[in-house]
């Protein structure tokens, strides 16, 4: 493993650890950063290697959730309504993932789409905070509220639309308290991330792919885990302090910048 591969793995791990939990879209940032790294290094993007690294990074952030919410997970089986809510919220993602996942991967994995998705994330974060009602605790979750949050999670398959941002905003719009919306967002992230990593891992196994660097993937995974723990704990404080508009402004700025970059990069030579 070369020094540049270590540096790239650490960089992607930092991006994943931050963007998976802060409501700024890890998938969108990985698409944008992956394209930038490829352009700056002068090499072509390796789809198979990227897929394996993406799985490793998501396993790392899954570990972050399991660590931060270990107490809640130990008590989960005794909270029947919450367990039902997690199952209901996962259904839309399963349906969309199994029926449209390949279509999403084929047509939506571009920096331009990620930039547009970030604008959607900015709008959802602003609306979620603006219209929050702070009425219901985590134990008040109903199938209807869970399904609404699950629909918000399903649209986050589009790069640039933050899974955490959309689900927290969805929870706030259903009247959940800020702490309840945030906790529910990351509890339903466990089956979502685990399912996605399992499916991608199966694809890698079936293809017999060896394109990824195992040592680099371990470095990326550990980096994503450590950074993810810090980012997740920071997010919990930010949401409780009602500062989601910070991230709405960030997503708006990066989204616009990415769209402008892509438009200029694809403009035919000689066009002013």
Per-residue pLDDT tens over the stretch 179-206: 999 999 999 999 988 887 787 777 666 6
Query: Between 58 and 84, whose confidence is greater?
Result: 84
Do residues 23 and 121 lie in contact, with contact meaning Cβ atoms separated by under 8 Å?
yes
Do residues 28 and 117 lie in contact, with contact meaning Cβ atoms separated by under 8 Å?
yes
pLDDT at 111 over 50: yes
Tens of pLDDT along 134-168?
Answer: 889 998 999 999 999 999 999 988 888 999 999 99
Do residues 27 and 159 lie in contact, with contact meaning Cβ atoms separated by under 8 Å?
yes
Distances (CA, A) of 227 to 1, 17, 159, 168, 223: 22, 5, 21, 20, 6
Mean pLDDT of 208-223: 76
- State the pLDDT at residue 209: 55
pTM: 0.83
pLDDT band of residue 105 (cuts 50, 70, 90) is low
Q: Give which of 260, 266, 264 is closest to 118, Cα–Cα.
A: 260
**Sign of the torsion angle spanned by Cα atoms 196, 169, 23, 45:** positive
Alpha-carbon gap, residue 83 to 64, rounded angstroms: 20
Tens of pLDDT along 228-239?
Answer: 999 999 988 888
Longest dimension (CA), the chain: 66
Mean pLDDT of 44-55: 62
- State the pLDDT at residue 117: 93
Q: Give which of 136, 137, 165, 138 is closest to 153, Cα–Cα.
A: 165
Mean pLDDT of the chain: 85
- State the pLDDT at residue 34: 73
Tokens of 96: 């969309």
């Amino acid at each position: 493993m070369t020094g540049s591969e270590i540096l790239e793995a650490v960089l992607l791990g930092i991006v994943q650890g931050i963007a998976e939990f802060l409501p700024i879209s890890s998938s969108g940032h990985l698409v944008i950063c992956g394209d930038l790294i490829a352009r700056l290094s002068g090499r072509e993007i390796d789809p198979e290697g990227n897929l394996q690294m993406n799985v490793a990074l998501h396993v790392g952030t899954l570990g972050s959730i399991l660590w931060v919410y270990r107490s809640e997970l130990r008590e989960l089986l005794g909270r029947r309504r919450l367990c039902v809510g997690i199952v209901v919220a996962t259904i839309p993602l399963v349906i969309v993932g199994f029926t449209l996942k390949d279509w999403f991967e084929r047509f939506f994995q571009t920096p331009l789409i990620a930039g547009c998705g970030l604008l959607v994330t900015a709008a959802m974060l602003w609306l979620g905070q603006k219209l929050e009602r702070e009425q219901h605790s985590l134990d008040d979750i109903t199938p209807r509220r869970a399904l609404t949050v699950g629909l918000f999670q399903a649209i986050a398959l589009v790069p640039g639309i933050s899974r955490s941002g959309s689900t927290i905003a969805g929870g706030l719009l259903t009247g959940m308290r800020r702490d309840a919306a945030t906790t529910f967002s990351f509890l339903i992230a466990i089956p979502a991330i685990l399912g996605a990593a399992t499916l991608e891992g199966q694809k890698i196994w079936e293809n017999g792919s060896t394109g990824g660097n195992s040592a680099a993937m371990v470095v990326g995974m550990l980096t994503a885990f450590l950074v993810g723990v810090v980012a997740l704990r920071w997010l919990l404080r930010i949401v409780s302090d009602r500062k989601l508009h910070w991230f709405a402004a960030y997503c708006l700025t990066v989204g616009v910048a990415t769209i402008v970059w892509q438009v200029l990069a694809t403009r035919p030579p000689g066009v002013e």
